[in-house]
Amino acid sequence: MTHAVEIRDLHKYFGDNEVLKGIDFTVEPGQVVCVIGPSGSGKSTLLRCVNMLEVPTKGQVFINGAELTDPDADIDAARRHVGMVFQQFNLFPHLTALQNVMIAQQRVLGRGKNEAEIIARENLNKVGVAEKCDAYPGQLSGGQQQRVAIARALAMNPDLMLFDEPTSALDPELVGDVLTVMRKLAEEGMTMLVVTHEMGFAREVADRVVFMDGGVIVEDGEPSKVIGNPSHERTRTFLHRVLHPEG
């Protein structure tokens, strides 16, 4: 069986600083994998290596069995199958919500205007912001912006969705709307790799939780095990700090 994502001995340096120190892991089709860990542990860098926004210093990345780290690989073609959602949303501010969801369909997939618009409206409806089609990102709340960003990625019919701390920049009362959309996606069987601090979401939705610290994977397993009954001291310390921030 082909893995949705396979990473072999991945290393990433920023200058002399080794951020990823040999990562091996896989995501199977239909799985939801949450990556947790303290800030600076390399989890966002790992996610960004999966679609080559960061170029790995060493190691291999495969998506659906095709190697992205091959110098001759067509990265742009591979990215069409991988949706990405950013912490800062990164919507295009000069385009309306609808145009944000249409532009890559038209310019990358070559869909006609009508087809792109129908698909865009479907996806905006799915994430619950259909009534905001004609609004510009600056006129939307953070939660609405993030849901438009999810619709923008979904409109490309990805096989895999990457989420880079999708709720970290949101006001607390808006987090729930975004998590609801992500939960719905998971139920539909979307393959998802999610870097998050939302332990509740990880525990309930994830098939697997990966705990990273210091550029390595410390623990990888079912949420009930990694979050519920961690076997490593570093995991326990981290979870204690996240779940009991008051000390």
Partner 1 sequence: MDGRRSGLDAVTHLLTMADTPISAEPARSGLSPRKRRQISLGVQYAVFVAVLVAVAMLADWPKIAENFFNGPVAAGMFPTLFTVALKNTLIFTLAGYAIGFVLGLVLALMRLSSVAPYRVVALVYIEIFRGLPALIIFLLLGFGLPIAFPGFSLPGDVYGTVALALGLVAAAYMAESFRAGIQAVPKGQMEAARSLGMKPTRAMISIILPQAIRIVIPPLTNELILLFKDSSLVFTLGVTAATTELTKFGSDTTIDQANSTPLIVAGATYLLITIPLGIVVRRLEARQGRKR
Contact residues for partner 1, defined by CB under 8 A: 51, 53, 76-77, 79-80, 82-84, 86, 88, 90-94, 103-104, 107-109, 138, 149, 152-153, 156
Cα–Cα dist 34/205, whole Å: 9
Nearer to partner 1, 178 or 217 (CB): 178
Q: What is the dihedral of CA 58, 53, 211, 152, to 10 degrees?
A: -150
Nearer to partner 1, 153 or 210 (CB): 153
In the bound complex, what is the minimum distance in angstroms from residue 141's beta carbon to partner 1? 17
Check residue 132 and report its DSSP letter: G
In the bound complex, what is the minimum distance in angstroms from residue 45's beta carbon to partner 1? 13
Nearer to partner 1, 71 or 138 (CB): 138
Helix (H, G, I), strand (E, B) or coil at 177: helix
Strand partners, 83: 161
Nearer to partner 1, 153 or 193 (CB): 153
In the bound complex, what is the minimum distance in angstroms from residue 177's beta carbon to partner 1? 20
In the bound complex, what is the minimum distance in angstroms from residue 53's beta carbon to partner 1? 6
Check residue 57 and report its DSSP letter: S
Nearer to partner 1, 82 or 217 (CB): 82
In the bound complex, what is the minimum distance in angstroms from residue 93's beta carbon to partner 1? 7
In the block, tokens 């079912």 appear at: 222
Amino acid in the structure at residue 29: P
Q: What is the largest CA-CA distance in the chain?
A: 56
Give the side-chain half-sphere CA count within 13 A for 156: 26
